[in-house]
A and B are shown apart, each in its own frame.
Chain A
Amino acid sequence: MSWEVVIGLEIHAQLTTKSKIFSGASTEYGAAPNSQACPIDIGMPGMLPVLNQAVIGKSIMLGLALDAEIGKRSVFDRKNYFYPDLPKGYQTSQFELPIVGQGKLEIELEDGTKKVIGVTRAHLEEDAGKSVHGLVPGQTGVDLNRSGTPLLEIVSDPDMSSAKEAVAYAKKMHELVQYLGICDGNMQEGSFRVDSNVSVRRKGEPLGTRAELKNINSFRFIEKAIEFEVERQIELLESGGKVVQETRLYDAETNTTRSMRTKEEANDYRYFPCPDLLPVVITEEDIKAVKDSMPELPEAKRQRFVSEFGLSEYDAVVLTGSRALAEFFETVVALTGSKDAKLCANWVTSGFAAALNRDGLPVEQAPVTAELLAGMIVRIMDNSISGKIAKQVFEAMWKGEGTADSIIEAKGLKQITDSGVIEALVDAVLGDNPSQVEAYKAGQTKMLGYFVGQVMQASGGQANPSQVNQILVAKLSD
């Protein structure tokens, strides 16, 4: 009997705002406990919420990127339950009328096939606080700094049928929200949290009971957790058991999921429209304003890089992998006079990206700026240095030794283009290798490469290779 896997994801993306969704308290990460929890965030008596303007534009932006309906009239509801990190005893969220309606996102799988994943909705809500244990024996400490932080909860349709698809979707969404600049994507700090709803069914049968895997903070572990959970459910069902609807925690050390202790009764959240907030109305003009301010999306950028710069599909994919890298690349191209975008792409994808990777740095923190890299590429283009020398120059720039020009100058790396000097080098090499010259003349023309290598070596790598080639051929055919 073959099994079908059904996965839907709920992603909580923290919106990049300075202040909270309903109060003027800061959202900055890592502050001292409760130092960013104002009376509104604490739910003190008489305190009232006022909605942060910034969350609306950011939500619309995601909606447009997902080709989704924008809720022209969205409503905040209260989700009622008691928990220490939920100060008001309810979470302000959107239930019936979310700000973003049905949309879709196309993902690409490892084998290159594409699949469209439906996005059911995305709604605004406030985050809860954080509990810490072990501060005082037998007590839990509550820090409400995170309380009221704006979240956009993005709910997918149950369209994914493997852990790999789920991760591809999550990664794509992760890339998208960062591209749009609406979420910093930091998974360690909890800015991007993925909950997976996993169920299995026999082919052709109705949907099975799902388990929810919560708050896993890396894509690798999301994949492993789903894989484990799928196997667990299949084994359970094949041995005659039943899947229970529950939340399960993933343990990375044992690579297993385990049930969270839950109360026997299902939650009854008693959603109802929050009477302290009024309906949010979004006009066509609002949507147009967001559209006009929207950054180019990855897919469009990719296509443009191929058509406008003549890049390979592969280079285009790598360059648009993050908005920062793509923008870095375009700056470099512009600074080099847009004459050789391919050369720029090679340097950004290999030299630059590789160095970032090696040092674990984001683009913004790279010691080599777009200006520095462009300065070096210009020197390759005007034949001042060869590609090989450029690698040396790049490493020196990365170490902070200065601009390409100052490094070339200081290290004497400028390419030798004086044909007199090169001729002298060629003469010396040919003089030192009479038997090879004879062999060449007897028809072994592939010896040319050997001579080129010798001349380059003699020049310390600085001779212009094409000139060396030219002069060698001329002299050998004398």
Chain B
Amino acid sequence: MHNLTIKQMSEKLQSGDITSVQLTQYYLDRISQYDPELNAYVTVTPELAIQMAEEADRRIATGKAELLTGIPVAHKDIFCTDGIKTSCSSKMLDNFIAPYDAHVVTQLKKIGMPILGKTNMDEFAMGSSSESSYYGPTKNPWDHKAVPGGSSGGAAAVIAAGLAPMATGTDTGGSIRQPASFCGITGIKPTYGVVSRFGIVAYASSFDQAGPMTRSAEDSAWMLNAMAGFDERDSTSLEREKTDYTAELERSLEGLKIGVPAEYFGEGLDASVEDVVKKAIAQMKDLGAEVVEVHLPNKDLAVPSYYVLAPAEASSNLSRFDGVRFGYRCEQAEDLNDLYRRSRSEGFGEEVKRRIMVGAYALSAGYYDAYYLKAQKLRRMVRDDFVHAFKQCDVIMGPVAPTSAFNIGEKADDQVSMYLSDLYTIPVNLAGLPALSVPAGFAQERPVGLHIVGPYFSEAKLLNIGHQFQQVTNWHKQMPKQYQ
């Protein structure tokens, strides 16, 4: 059952072959069987899931169902869910039950998608390995010694292990694409502003963007249809005509111009990863695409720029966690200062504290120009590189990450090397562009994704390319043996 595409699942639901309750129970059973070891879920909500599935079945019976009605979903624990804990994998929010739903959650509820639970992540989405979770690291289903990537590592793992057919993720500096690559699944980060941020606990507001994480590009297209759309509660949500992201899936790639940046294949890129990516690009040629070389000369500036700007925004976004109105409060505060300091110091994990401190420093008197403002200027230079490159090509392809999944603990003590591993994904967030990661092979027996970046609002095109690639490859259909 967990190897069906979403469309096939939907057909079975509509035809009465299976019910949503059966489908949901099937996944709940797999969760109880596998998740204790995998640690991909922070919270599982079986009662709610079944209740929502019953509701979906009634709706299907009346013939008023949509394609996704009755198909269960797992939400990253950064999406606020009314009545269910939203922890952001932090001690700070271990007791936080939001009295509202994120816009994305509302949208999927409206369609009738049962909620299986909330997935594990790097604390407050700050990380690339899901190791900084208060609830412990999630394992990579392909190899339990490896990290699933991050920050949406739990979401990627549940898809890879067949513990949910669809999952929501968020991507601030690569947090959908890098775990998708590490876990051999498909994930897309839409153009900034396409999916509402309302109700998503903010990490870095001018970067955060939610997107789907699924087995195939086709599945992602269906899910993005449900997630995207204007929301008046988010000032950065874009008022655009509703797009059908499945509309272009079957298009031929004949004549597609693929830009390959020379800078993406230099030092630091693992040779076997490079191999996988180059082979995938070669396959695109077989599908009728042509390849041109493009240049992104400022790509090395992206990492420092991002690690100034995102922590700066985070330092301010996370000031609201002060032990006063919600979340963790320290015991027996002596005075107000003690309340603030201990609540925050005890409630936040090390990486979160570090980013808050770095971010505050970058904004502080005397350093604003040298760090924050400079980084904003570099942000424009990185963006302009893309604008320029897209004059010569339709999409850009390259690696998602310099390596396949690394081992748990391997980079835990070396932030800077962890930060640098985001070098291919971060430029896309600085520019606010859409980008897709599709499974393209293996390196050291761990999955490797192909990164496809497009111009603003080219999501349908990216999913089209991903889908066509998946018509001639079966990487996305493979599953780790023990989860098959």
Query: A304 to nearest B CB, angstroms?
Result: 43
**Chain B residues in 8 Å Cβ range of A285:** none
Q: Which of A70-96 contact B (CB under 8 A)?
A: 78, 80, 82, 84, 87-90
Q: Give Cα A206–Cα B364 distance, bound, in whole angstroms.
A: 29
Number of residues from B at the complex interface, CB < 8 A? 42
**Is B202's CB within 8 Å of the partner chain A?**
yes
Determine whether the beta carbon of B320 is less than 8 Å from that of A88: yes
Determine whether the beta carbon of B363 is less than 8 Å from that of A276: no
Q: Give Cα A49–Cα B237 distance, bound, in whole angstroms.
A: 12
Determine whether the beta carbon of A272 is less than 8 Å from that of B325: no
Chain A residue nearest to B197 (CB atoms) is: A48
Q: A124-156 toward B: CB 8 Å interface, digit per residue (1/0)?
A: 000000000000000010100000000000000
Q: B303-320 toward A: CB 8 Å interface, digit per residue (1/0)?
A: 000000000110110111
* Closest 8 pairs between A and B when the two form their complex, measured CB to CB: A89-B319, A270-B363, A275-B205, A275-B206, A46-B199, A43-B320, A45-B201, A46-B80
**Chain A residues in 8 Å Cβ range of B86:** 45
**Chain B residues in 8 Å Cβ range of A270:** 315-316, 360, 363-365, 368
**Is B336's CB within 8 Å of the partner chain A?**
yes
Q: B80-109 toward A: CB 8 Å interface, digit per residue (1/0)?
A: 100000101000010010111010000000
**Chain A residues in 8 Å Cβ range of B100:** 39, 44, 46
Determine whether the beta carbon of A46 is less than 8 Å from that of B201: yes
Q: Give Cα A39–Cα B86 distance, bound, in whole angstroms.
A: 15
Binding site for B on A (CB under 8 A): 39, 42-51, 78, 80, 82, 84, 87-90, 140, 142, 268, 270-272, 275-278
**Chain A residues in 8 Å Cβ range of B200:** 46
20 contacts between A and B (CB under 8 A): A44-B100, A44-B320, A44-B325, A45-B86, A46-B199, A47-B199, A50-B233, A50-B234, A80-B319, A82-B322, A84-B324, A87-B320, A89-B320, A270-B315, A270-B364, A270-B368, A272-B313, A272-B368, A272-B372, A275-B205
Q: Give Cα A277–Cα B313 distance, bound, in whole angstroms.
A: 13
Q: Give Cα A270–Cα B356 distance, bound, in whole angstroms.
A: 13
Cβ 8 A contact of B322, one of A49, A89, A271, A276: A89
With A44-B326, A46-B98, A272-B312 known as contacts, the answer to whether A51 contacts B235 (CB < 8 A) is: yes
Determine whether the beta carbon of A277 is less than 8 Å from that of B235: yes
Cβ 8 A contact of B316, one of A42, A89, A278: A89
Chain B residue nearest to A268 (CB atoms) is: B365
Cβ 8 A contact of B96, one of A45, A140, A268: A45
With A268-B364, A268-B365, A272-B372 known as contacts, the answer to whether A48 contacts B235 (CB < 8 A) is: yes
With A49-B235, A278-B236 known as contacts, the answer to whether A90 contacts B98 (CB < 8 A) is: no
**Is B232's CB within 8 Å of the partner chain A?**
yes
**Chain A residues in 8 Å Cβ range of B206:** 275
Chain A residue nearest to B78 (CB atoms) is: A46
Q: Give Cα A89–Cα B363 distance, bound, in whole angstroms.
A: 15
**Chain A residues in 8 Å Cβ range of B322:** 82, 89
Binding site for A on B (CB under 8 A): 80, 86, 88, 93, 96, 98-100, 102, 197-202, 204-206, 232-236, 312-313, 315-316, 318-320, 322, 324-326, 336, 340, 360, 363-365, 368, 372
**Chain A residues in 8 Å Cβ range of B320:** 43-45, 87-89
Q: Give Cα A51–Cα B80 distance, bound, in whole angstroms.
A: 22
Please give 11 more A-B residue pairs, beta carbons under 8 A apart, in addition to A84-B324, A276-B235.
A45-B201, A45-B326, A47-B199, A80-B315, A89-B316, A89-B322, A270-B315, A271-B363, A272-B363, A275-B205, A276-B202
Query: B168 to nearest A CB, angstroms?
Result: 13
Determine whether the beta carbon of A46 is less than 8 Å from that of B102: yes
Query: B481 to nearest A CB, angstroms?
Result: 39
Determine whether the beta carbon of B363 is less than 8 Å from that of A80: yes
**Chain B residues in 8 Å Cβ range of A45:** 80, 86, 88, 93, 96, 98, 201-202, 320, 326
Determine whether the beta carbon of B324 is less than 8 Å from that of A50: no
**Chain B residues in 8 Å Cβ range of A89:** 316, 318-320, 322
**Chain A residues in 8 Å Cβ range of B93:** 45
**Chain B residues in 8 Å Cβ range of A50:** 232-235
Chain B contact residues: helix, strand, loop or mixed? loop
Determine whether the beta carbon of A48 is less than 8 Å from that of B233: yes
Query: A82 to nearest B CB, angstroms?
Result: 6
Determine whether the beta carbon of B198 is less than 8 Å from that of A46: yes
Query: B341 to nearest A CB, angstroms?
Result: 10
Determine whether the beta carbon of B235 is less than 8 Å from that of A278: yes
How many A-B residue pairs have C-beta atoms within 8 angstroms? Tell me: 95
Determine whether the beta carbon of A272 is less than 8 Å from that of B102: no
Q: Give Cα A49–Cα B232 distance, bound, in whole angstroms.
A: 10
With A43-B325, A84-B336, A89-B319 known as contacts, the answer to whether A48 contacts B198 (CB < 8 A) is: yes
Determine whether the beta carbon of B235 is less than 8 Å from that of A82: no
Q: Give Cα A268–Cα B367 distance, bound, in whole angstroms.
A: 11
Query: B125 to nearest A CB, angstroms?
Result: 12
Q: Give Cα A271–Cα B315 distance, bound, in whole angstroms.
A: 12
**Chain A residues in 8 Å Cβ range of B368:** 270, 272
Determine whether the beta carbon of A275 is less than 8 Å from that of B313: yes
Chain A residue nearest to B93 (CB atoms) is: A45
Determine whether the beta carbon of A142 is less than 8 Å from that of B324: yes
Query: A56 to nearest B CB, angstroms?
Result: 14
Query: B241 to nearest A CB, angstroms?
Result: 20
Determine whether the beta carbon of B236 is less than 8 Å from that of A82: no
Q: Give Cα A78–Cα B100 distance, bound, in whole angstroms.
A: 25
Among B93, B102, B326, chain A packs the most CB atoms within 10 A around the CB of B326
Chain A residue nearest to B319 (CB atoms) is: A89
Chain B residue nearest to A85 (CB atoms) is: B324
Determine whether the beta carbon of A275 is less than 8 Å from that of B364: no
**Chain B residues in 8 Å Cβ range of A271:** 363
Q: Give Cα A357–Cα B313 distance, bound, in whole angstroms.
A: 54
Q: Give Cα A80–Cα B320 distance, bound, in whole angstroms.
A: 11
Among A45, A46, A80, A270, chain B packs the most CB atoms within 10 A around the CB of A45
Q: Give Cα A275–Cα B372 distance, bound, in whole angstroms.
A: 13
**Chain A residues in 8 Å Cβ range of B201:** 45-46
Determine whether the beta carbon of A276 is less than 8 Å from that of B205: yes
Query: A133 to nearest B CB, angstroms?
Result: 13
Q: Give Cα A88–Cα B315 distance, bound, in whole angstroms.
A: 11
Determine whether the beta carbon of A90 is less than 8 Å from that of B316: yes
Q: Give Cα A276–Cα B236 distance, bound, in whole angstroms.
A: 7
Query: B329 to nearest A CB, angstroms?
Result: 13
**Chain B residues in 8 Å Cβ range of A48:** 197-198, 233-235
Chain B residue nearest to A263 (CB atoms) is: B337
Chain A residue nearest to B99 (CB atoms) is: A39
Query: A55 to nearest B CB, angstroms?
Result: 14
Q: Give Cα A50–Cα B315 distance, bound, in whole angstroms.
A: 21
